[in-house]
Amino acid sequence: MAHEYKRIVLLKGLEHISDHYFDLFKSVMASDLRLEKNIRGKYNRIKIADMMEYEFPTDAGLGKLIEFCEEVHTLKRLAETLKEEKSKVKGKSPLRKRKQEAGSDTPTSTTSNTVASDGGETSTAQKRKSINREKTGVKKTKQSEGPDQPSCSEEATARCQSPELQTSSLAPSNTSLAKVQKTQTQTQSITRGAVLQKDAMTVMVLNAIDPFEYESSEHEVKKMFHATVATVNEYFHVKVFNINLKEKFKKENVIIISNYLKFKGILEINEASSVFEAGPDQKIEVSNSLIREANKPPKFSDFHKYGPGAVVYGLFTLQKKKVNPKTTIYEIQDDYANSIEVVGHGKWYNIICKEGDKFRLFCFQLKTIDKQLKLVCGDHSFIKVGKRGEMMEPKEASEEDGYHKGPKRVKVLSTTKSFIYDQTEEKMMFHATAATETEFFRVMVFDVTLQEMFAKKNPIVLTDYFCSNGTLMIHKASSVSAATDNSKMSISDTLKKNTKANPKIHDLHLQTREVLVYGDFKICRKGNGNNCIRYVIQDNTGEMKMVVSGHLTSVNCKIGDIVRLVGFELTSDVGDWFLRAVRYSNMEVIESENKKQ
């Protein structure tokens, strides 16, 4: 088992942190590993992993690495990946297997960023606790769901308790309580297992579609709409059964909701729920990475983990359409060239669409039909059909972390020339940008023999690749092959344009986390520092400091030149954001001031 932990530490941990954070980690672990200060730079990742295995025989130091990653903002996602890998190893232990065979009270559960399970929320252990409460006469006074239920802010609580709202549905009076309970009960019958959430939650609206008609459980034609909202650290899909609230569900609007139903991450808002706009002092900021995560469609290859009953949202591509007497089969494809059938009936029978169209699915349920998982429409399902390029395109590169087996099918949009990034060992690499039909990625390729494979417009398939800080990393152990299937990949002009869009310096100063920056900027000041060159770059929104060291100090650029920065790290020093070249960064002059003159 120690060997498994070491494998995670080395291949899925240390391999995916930058040189800067690796140096930080060595400094933090210097005492535990007894590292000699004067030769600390000679301890590479393999040697550190060996020493950790020796010093921490229980888990090869994986726990220490997770603690470090949790304390570094940009490595928190890596920490979650490492914890998941650690739990997998624990699950293989003989002791755990014996416990499972004896009957464990703790059920296993999986979640997805765009899939919601349709199973019950009450575990066996929770049921036993409930029985014990009843036996001892202890009554449950407040429903809590742990991290999924954020506490109401002081401002929101004050507003919830204000006299103006005492007669609202937020705090129903005794005379209206029966009506509220009836409304909630009717909605609960739609989604079995949904739990009433009375506490207020402040969220930002990410998107909402127009209201549409559906047939209720009482066989009445009613209207509803779907939306996506987010707190600071998580997002939710929402079913809104009160279309009068549509004005409040405007994009980027901050609202406070209470008395809503919740079921495995999906919220339901009805007539008895309370929704009002937050005040100026109750605004929240939602990170771009969380917004991207909310818009990211699931992988079909992961569906077997969730099984029948899971609810799916996402944007996909229509491959085939087959009209049967009672149903229509829509075969859709995800960004990984995997396919699944969507069964449409009722209002989703034989809708107007053709091969290559974009299918955005809302609230479709996984079911096993003829021993195969398929997506089936329900009462609250909705399909938004769009042509290529008509659907919303991402403005920033998608982010992934950890090891990915793949396959990921992409088309190459651009590639840099190969360059030496390690002068001592003359190691070479190149950067590239690749895209699926719905998102794009930054790629670092450390095998320069793949340069021809990464020719512009070339469709390729990536397997066994790593991701670090949101960037795909292709090593010699990775597999890159030509796409052999006949399905075309059509990348919209909007998506191509977004890959070349320059980040604004004004926006970079407003960042809340470290990111990698790609873009063209003008040099307005230049000076020498301690083993580095200090620049000030500018665009039409402002200026920013930039520090260049290592192999990029040889780049001959002057004041007034336009430089193209590839993979520069946005970091901060006492709250002041600046750009710096890291080991894998590249810079070139694309427009010289001398040529203008």
Q: What secondary structure does DSSP assign to 518-530, as a single string?
A: EEEEEEEEEEEET
Would you call 517 helix, strand, or coil by DSSP?
Answer: strand
- Among 184-198, 480-494, 513-527, 575-589, which is the least confidently predicted range? 184-198
CB 111 within 8 A of CB 312: no
Tell which wins on pLDDT, 160 or 212: 212
Which of the following CATH numbers is that of domain 402-496: 3.40.47.10, 2.60.40.10, 1.20.58.2050, 2.40.50.140?
2.40.50.140
The pairing of beta strand 515-529 with beta strand 465-468 = unpaired
CB 373 within 8 A of CB 366: yes
Question: What average pLDDT score do residues 451-467 get?
Answer: 90
Q: Which tokens sit at 567? A: 């993979």
Residue among 82, 54, 31 nearest 401 (CA)? 82
- Among 255-259, 391-395, 405-409, 419-423, which is the least confidently predicted range? 391-395
d(CA 114, CA 313): 6
Q: What is the pTM of this model?
A: 0.47
What is the third-level CATH fold of 297-386? OB fold (Dihydrolipoamide Acetyltransferase, E2P) (2.40.50)
297 prior amide bond cis, ω within 30: no
Q: Residue 447: what residue type? A: D
Residue 483 in this model has a pLDDT that exceeds 80: yes
Q: Which residues of 535-544 are buried (b: 16+ CB within 10 A; e: fewer)?
A: bbbebeeebb
Tell me how crowded residue 484 is: count the other CB atoms within 10 A of its CB: 7
Residue 183 in this model has a pLDDT that exceeds 80: no
Q: Which tokens sit at 269? A: 């808002």
Residue among 197, 191, 223 nearest 210 (CA)? 223
Q: Do you know the residue count of the chain?
A: 597
Residue 152 in this model has a pLDDT that exceeds 70: no
Q: Residue 29: what residue type? A: M
Residue among 369, 184, 396 nearest 290 (CA)? 396
Residue range 2-95, CATH number: 1.10.533.10
| pLDDT score for 429 | 94
Q: CA neighbours within 13 Å on the CB side: how many for 499?
A: 23
Confidence of residue 248 (pLDDT cuts 50, 70, 90): very high
Residue 309 in this model has a pLDDT that exceeds 90: no
What is the third-level CATH fold of 146-285? OB fold (Dihydrolipoamide Acetyltransferase, E2P) (2.40.50)
Check residue 592 and report its DSSP letter.
Answer: -
Residue range 502-596, CATH number: 2.40.50.140
Would you call 504 helix, strand, or coil by DSSP?
Answer: coil
CB 525 within 8 A of CB 560: no
CB 312 within 8 A of CB 297: no
Angle between helices 76-91 and 62-71 (to 10 degrees): 150
CB 586 within 8 A of CB 575: no
d(CA 88, CA 368): 27
Q: Residue 193: what residue type? A: G
d(CA 500, CA 505): 15
Residue among 501, 492, 517, 494 nearest 577 (CA)? 517
d(CA 188, CA 194): 6
Report the mean per-residue pLDDT for the chain.
79
Check residue 75 and report its DSSP letter.
Answer: G
- The β-bridge partners of 581 are none
| pLDDT score for 387 | 67
Confidence of residue 40 (pLDDT cuts 50, 70, 90): confident
Every domain of the chain with CATH number 1.10.533.10 lies at 2-95
Check residue 151 and report its DSSP letter.
Answer: P
CB 577 within 8 A of CB 552: no
- The DSSP-derived string for 29-68 is THHHHT--GGGGGG--HHHHHHHHHHH-TTTTTHHHHHHH
Task: List, for residues 336-354, the tens digit of each pLDDT value.
Answer: 778 999 999 988 999 988 8
d(CA 429, CA 419): 6
Tell which wins on pLDDT, 392 or 418: 418
| pLDDT score for 238 | 97
Q: CA neighbours within 13 Å on the CB side: how many for 57?
A: 1
C-alpha distances (whole Å) from 88 to each of 7, 402, 480 are 13, 15, 28
Residue among 405, 400, 402 nearest 14 (CA)? 402
Residue among 496, 558, 548 nearest 522 (CA)? 558
| pLDDT score for 93 | 53
CB 340 within 8 A of CB 301: no
Question: What average pLDDT score do residues 362-385 get?
Answer: 93
Q: What angle do CA 118, 119, 120 make, to 5 degrees?
A: 125
- Strongest mean pLDDT among 74-78, 202-206, 393-397: 202-206
Every domain of the chain with CATH number 2.40.50.140 lies at 146-285, 297-386, 402-496, 502-596
Phi, psi of 505 (to 5 degrees): -60, -35
The pairing of beta strand 576-580 with beta strand 328-333 = unpaired
Distance of CA 238 to the CA centre of its chain: 18
